[in-house]
Structure 1
Amino acid sequence: MIPIYKPYMPQNISDDITEILYSGQLGYGKYGRKFESQLQSFIGCEYVLSVSSYNIAMQIVLSTLGLQFGDEVIASPVSCLASNQPFAVKGLKVVWADVNPENGSMCPDDVKSKITINTKAIFHNHFCGYLGNIDQINELGKSYGIPVVDDGIEAFGSEYKGNKLGNVGTDVTVFSFQTVRLPNTIDGGAIVYKDKKLYKKALLIRDYGIDRTIFRTPNGEINPDCDIKLEGYAGLMSDLNSYIGTRQMDDIESLLVVQKNNAVIWNCKFTNIDTINSLKMTSDSTPNYWVYGTLCKNKTQAIKDFKESGFYSTGVHINNNVYTVFDNKVSLQGVNEFMNHFVAIPCGWWFENK
């Protein structure tokens, strides 16, 4: 059966990995800087930092934005649990926004109706690599003076108006490089900032709040005059993981082309089928086709039929508003309709659709 996900790993990397393992430089170093440079070039944005995991990326973003216990954020329940669990860790109040049942993207009108004086941020998830209404959500943030974070956990390489996600005008963008993503660094992530000051702040928060340029005295001792003013994390990506990222970035364009070609074939196959519709894309967007999304009249039967045809299929995620940890089990009509019909099938680089 063709899998829904598959970790990518470049060929002929064992010698380089061995060299790194015995180099004495295992922490963030030359490969970390190279990986970030590649990300900057690919995304088209200067203020990019790599991190050790997606979870750490989210925690850094929450700290960078100054969010505190009890603050209110608007987010989509149609997303990976990893996207929303950091809110619970930080003690934030999550207000769930409804989604468009045709594609699972956040509904701008519903977001607007839920903005209050207590709203501190909007987290805009791009479900399974399918981009949402970026301009409309960003305009809400601008109008109300609220930062918007593009949650690109599954959307690295997706495009909006010809630009890569991370370079579409949003305040902050978060990516995951966990094993089944592209690129994957075994575990890792990245954050993109539009604002240089927030980026500089995040660089400190990523490394325990330490300014490494003054952290040690000329003789190598910790400098007592180097004050730590910010909360921080052990968020630096190792050079081993970074190296894997650099090699994956060498191949990223060709891998995404395969996925887009596979999607074209799926589009044709579902054109005249009444029981299965391709997920409707938002205007001016191109998914990365991490998976291929469909809306099926009978979800259970469709999953069974796809599997019997040799394609692993799944609903991918469960809507997060069912979880007690978020203390907000509100029922949302668009969410319910979308989750009752959404089925993802393989679209990845590991097979050629025919």
Structure 2
Amino acid sequence: MQEIKIPLDWPNISELERDYILKALASGYVSSAGPLVREFEQRFAAYLGIGHAVAVVNGTAGLHLALKLLGIGPGDEVIVPALTFIATVNPVVYAGARPVVVDVDPRTWNIDPAAIEKAITKHTRAIIPVHLYGNPADMDAILGLAREYGLYVIEDATEALGSTYKGKKAGTFGHIGVFSFNGNKIITTGGGGMLVTEDPEVARRARILVNQGREPGETEYEHKEIGFNYRLTNLQAALGLAQLERLPEFLATKRRNAAIYCRDLYNVLGISWQQELPEAESNWWLFSILVDKKKYGLDKLELMQYLRKEGIQIRPLFKPLNWQQCYRAYNFNHCPIAEALYISGLNLPSASSLREKDIMYVIRSIKI
């Protein structure tokens, strides 16, 4: 197996994380009963400037829970972008609703508001915009459509912690926002996620549903609603608190490295990359490029193969949902922009531990 010299996005763990974990272990609270879960929720909500945050076992669970909280189920349609990780759409099916896949904008690679409007029917209940690779979607246009047609907005901000749109944090625009703390995300709890909302009733119900539907304060095991085992553990929260303290450091590094990529790849013929909206600031979770074989000389797969030989960890963009075999029976619409982006797109190394010399090594390798 080829040695990885430059990782795509590995966890960035320091002594601070070790100290938090050791304190949690010493307290004896290792499961979901510990006090650090609530502290993590409170600090996370404060960082975002939002009323409520509820910790969950992962981002996928958070999206499923969001749909449940908004009463979305059989007979309903939910509009999602074609270019996203499959965990955006799977919870729609878990809920019994029907996903409707639409194309994306060719510059931002995010869900196209014009495509959303064309897809709205009398059965549409919600839109799930994704801030792909940390790049904020056009939330003004999306929220405008939601208001006009009476739809819910569930933000898939699983990749976008720290990103902003018009100065406001991604994940705080919709009725519910969902974040992920998977091992490769901008902060990690090993696995985990967070559901956020301004609605206190949504947050109250979320806390019940993540705990198997058990009412808080009940002496007896009384469950008035069928819930889920979607709780985060105290150990995970300990890790999350440390990572949250270091988030400004992570964001600064990712944005510095993205700026280096933009500067030094600017004149490389046949290489372009995902663009931010003028009013948006990406966290640049994964800096991603397009490879034009006619101009560059290699196609995506050929460049991937070469970079991997150089010890550079690299991966393709997410395969469009309309091309996923498991959804073939849904007969999703053809999405030519998402398909074209996938055919030529790559994620470059973007780990928050990477130094400038690491990014320059990647750039020199691309300039073969």
Counterpart position of 2:283: 288
> Could you report, residue by residue, the CA deviation over 1:171-227 in whole angstroms, capped at 9, with x for unpaired residues?
1111100111121000100011132222222222122222212x11xxxxx17xx5x
Counterpart position of 2:188: 184
Structure 1 segment 173-252 matched on structure 2, within 5 A:
173-213=177-217, 215-216=218-219, 222=220, 228-252=223-247
> Could you report, residue by residue, the CA deviation over 1:258-311 in whole angstroms, capped at 9, with x for unpaired residues?
110001111101222220012111231111111112122132333345445653
- Superposition TM-score, scaled by structure 2 size: 0.88
Query: Could you list the runs of 5+ residues in structure 1 that have no partner in the other structure?
Result: 217-221
Structure 1 segment 1-354 matched on structure 2, within 5 A:
1-11=5-15, 13-14=17-18, 16-21=20-25, 23-26=27-30, 27-167=32-172, 169-213=173-217, 215-216=218-219, 222=220, 228-298=223-293, 299-307=300-308, 311-326=312-327, 327-353=330-356, 354=360
Contact (CA 8 Å) 1:28, 1:237: kept in 2 or not? Answer: no
| Equivalences, count | 344
Moved more, 101-110 or 18-27: 18-27
Moved more, 133-142 or 6-15: 6-15
Distance (whole Å) between structure 2 residues aligned to residue 155 and residue 267 of structure 1:
19
> Could you report, residue by residue, the CA deviation over 1:301-322 in whole angstroms, capped at 9, with x for unpaired residues?
3334544565332214211222
Aligned CA distance change for structure 1 residues 66 and 14 (closer, same or farther; 3 Å): same
Query: 1:18 deviation in Å?
Result: 4.2
Contact (CA 8 Å) 2:16, 2:242: kept in 1 or not? Answer: no
- Whichever structure has more helix as a proportion of its residues is 2
* Cα RMSD after superposing both structures: 1.9
Query: 1:91 deviation in Å?
Result: 2.6
Counterpart position of 2:296: none
Counterpart position of 2:364: none
Distance (whole Å) between structure 2 residues aligned to residue 175 and residue 182 of structure 1:
10
Distance (whole Å) between structure 2 residues aligned to residue 268 and residue 150 of structure 1:
31
Aligned CA distance change for structure 1 residues 352 and 65 (closer, same or farther; 3 Å): same
Moved more, 43-52 or 14-23: 14-23
Query: 1:163 deviation in Å?
Result: 1.8
3-state SS of paired residue (1:124): coil
Contact (CA 8 Å) 1:94, 1:328: kept in 2 or not? Answer: no
3-state SS of paired residue (1:125): coil
> Could you report, residue by residue, the CA deviation over 1:94-117 in whole angstroms, capped at 9, with x for unpaired residues?
110111122311110010001011
Distance (whole Å) between structure 2 residues aligned to residue 102 and residue 311 of structure 1:
26
